Structure 1
Amino acid sequence: MSVMNLQVNPANEIIGTTGLSVRFLVTGDNSNGSVAAFELMVPGAQRLPAPAHSHDHYEETIYGIDGVLTWTVDGKPIEVGPGEALCIPRGAVHRFDNNGSTDAKALCVVTPAAIGPDYFREAFGLLNAAAGGPPDKARMMDIMRRHGLTPAAPPPS
């Protein structure tokens, strides 16, 4: 019987832009595709630059570590602070924002591991290329769809 090659923190890479970043702790490659986990760091007063979205192939559980993130799930705002957890079911339209003045950190657990670092590398690459301006919306939607995220229709004006 062979023993898996176990390791701690497979990805010390921080993927991000101007304070908003992710750091994968477990990827699908490390868990036979069963789970992915990453830290999400969001500066104070930072709104998510990507549109609200849903995913049909996995649940996403958020566990608050520092600060408070406001997750809007199917139109309902839910604050998640330190020691609190929220499971976002498949198909629920959601987004997050840091409405506070302090930085926030959360642990995000995706089951099964249907998303990984490649999505964030592409999305943050597009954000960084915009140099502080709005990212190319059509390209962002394409990146999201290719990685299993379904962008939500914009809210009516």
Structure 2
Amino acid sequence: MLEKASQIRVNPADETIGDGRLAVRFLLTGEQSNGSIAAFELTVPGSQRLLAPAHSHDHYEETMYGIEGVLSLTVDGQQHNIEPGQALCIPRGAVHRFDNDTAETAKVLCVVTPAAIGPEYFREAFAIFSTGGPPDHARLMDLMRRFGLTPAPQPPQG
């Protein structure tokens, strides 16, 4: 029992992944929680739109809790602004995306239950977006699907 207790520590993941536009700091991954929960801070600079498309996930809920600034989430077509001290649970199957429409940096705590997504997803996503040009759409769609994210149909251009 002593060995198991020695493995328990504050912020066992504590890894920051980012590209200057977004930063994800994992506090806890599925590896440390027997797959039950993942928790990470998401920092979004002011006036930053998410590059990835709107999506849903059928295998987990995602709850966002506001730490600083205001993050705008669109969930099933309805906009919600998350401010410090506010929380929003995104249920399985709900199509969602987020943007920071203010000039100030926004930071939220994201909790994923069960822990179906982890640092590996974000490492690969930031690699796709770091090419300098437009992201490889097919690669991005493959990545999203491999990690249980279903891209939302894109509205017709016209």
Q: TM-score range by the shorter chain?
A: over 0.9
Task: Show structure 2 runs of 5+ residues with no match.
Answer: none
**Partner of residue 124 from structure 1, selected from 103, 123, 126:** 126
Structure 2: distance between partners of 1:11 and 1:36: 10
Residue 77 (structure 2) pairs with residue 68 (structure 1): no
Structure 2: distance between partners of 1:19 and 1:56: 27
TM alignment of 1:83-94, pairs within 5 A: 83-94=85-96
Structure 1: distance between partners of 2:98 and 2:21: 15
1:11, distance to aligned residue in structure 2 (A): 2.4
Aligned residue type for 2:33: S
1:12, distance to aligned residue in structure 2 (A): 2.9
Aligned length: 155
Aligned residue type for 2:92: R
1:78-104: CA deviations, max 9, x gaps? 100100000000000000000000000
Aligned residue type for 1:134: P
Aligned residue type for 2:149: L
CA RMSD between the two structures: 1.1
TM-score of the superposed pair, with normalisation by structure 2? 0.94
Aligned residue type for 2:151: P
Structure 2: distance between partners of 1:57 and 1:146: 12
TM-score of the superposed pair, with normalisation by structure 1? 0.95
**Partner of residue 56 from structure 1, selected from 58, 66, 72:** 58
